[in-house]
């Protein structure tokens, strides 16, 4: 019997894979996941996400391939949110998008901070 929602992922198990087409986003329910991106010089760590964080939202708003791979760190649990369900609800209640925009805005802020940090190092 399980009283938990979503799917349980084992340590190291891939939840989404870079380059694949996606039709949903995920919300971490428990545990931790790691976001990594394949680059020319190997794999680059982008972020760790914990319970309450979401990922894969770019596939909901753009018809593009997944831009990163997300793997479970230890055992984790994540819930899928279907593109159709989400976009339909945003159509009825545009304020729902504000919640997603806030997180995406935080990510842009973090990226800007990281970019300026790299520039400082190279100057």
Partner 1 sequence: MRLSAQPSVADSLSSFSTDEKAGFTLTDGSRIAVVGGGPAGSFFAYFLLKMARSIDLDIAVDIFEPRSFSRCGPAGCNHCGGVISESLVQILAAEGINLPQQVVQRGIESYVVHMDVGSVAIQSTAGEQRIAALYRGNGPREGGDAPWESFDGYLQGMATGLGAQVVRKLITGVDWREGFPWLISPDGAATRYDLVTVASGVNSNFIKLLGRLPEPLFPPDTTRAYVCEYRSSEREISRILGDAVHVFLLTIPRLEFAAIIPKGQFVTVVMVGDDLDQKLVTEFLLDPVVRACFPTDATPCVCSCSPLLNLGARSRPYADRIVLIGDSGVTRLYKDGIGAALRTGKAAASTAIFHGVSKAAFARHFWPACRRIEQDNAIGKVMFGTTAIFKRFRFLRRIMYRMARREQELPSRRPHMSSLLWNMFTGSAPYTDICRDALHPGFAGNMIMQAAAGLLPSGAGRKGVEGP
The residues of the shown chain that bind partner 1, judged by CB under 8 A, are: 1-7, 25, 27, 29-30, 51-52, 54, 79-82, 85-86, 89, 92-93, 95-96, 98-100
Nearest Cα residue to 25 out of 58, 68, 73, 62: 58
Shortest distance, position 96 Cβ to partner 1, whole Å:
6
Place of tokens 């329910």: 29
From residue 95, give the alpha-carbon distance in Å to each of 8, 24, 27, 98, 115.
Answer: 30, 19, 18, 5, 30
Work out whether the CA dihedral 62, 48, 53, 33 comes out positive or negative. positive
Closest to partner 1 by CB, 36 or 90 = 90
Shortest distance, position 123 Cβ to partner 1, whole Å:
38
Shortest distance, position 48 Cβ to partner 1, whole Å:
18
Closest to partner 1 by CB, 46 or 54 = 54
Closest to partner 1 by CB, 36 or 97 = 97
Shortest distance, position 103 Cβ to partner 1, whole Å:
9
Nearest Cα residue to 15 out of 61, 59, 105, 76: 76
Closest to partner 1 by CB, 10 or 117 = 10
The Cα 87–Cα 61 span in angstroms is 8
């Amino acid at each position: 019997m399980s009283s938990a929602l979503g799917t349980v992922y084992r340590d190291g198990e891939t939840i989404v894979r870079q380059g694949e087409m996606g039709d949903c986003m995920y919300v971490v329910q428990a545990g931790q996941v790691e976001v990594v991106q394949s680059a020319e010089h190997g794999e680059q760590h982008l972020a760790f996400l914990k319970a309450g964080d979401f990922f894969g939202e770019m596939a909901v708003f753009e018809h593009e391939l997944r831009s990163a791979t997300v793997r479970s760190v230890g055992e984790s649990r994540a819930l899928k949110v279907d593109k159709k369900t989400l976009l339909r609800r945003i159509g009825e209640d545009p304020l729902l998008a504000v919640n997603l925009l806030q997180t995406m805005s935080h990510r842009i802020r973090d990226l800007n901070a990281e970019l300026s940090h790299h520039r400082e190092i190279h100057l």
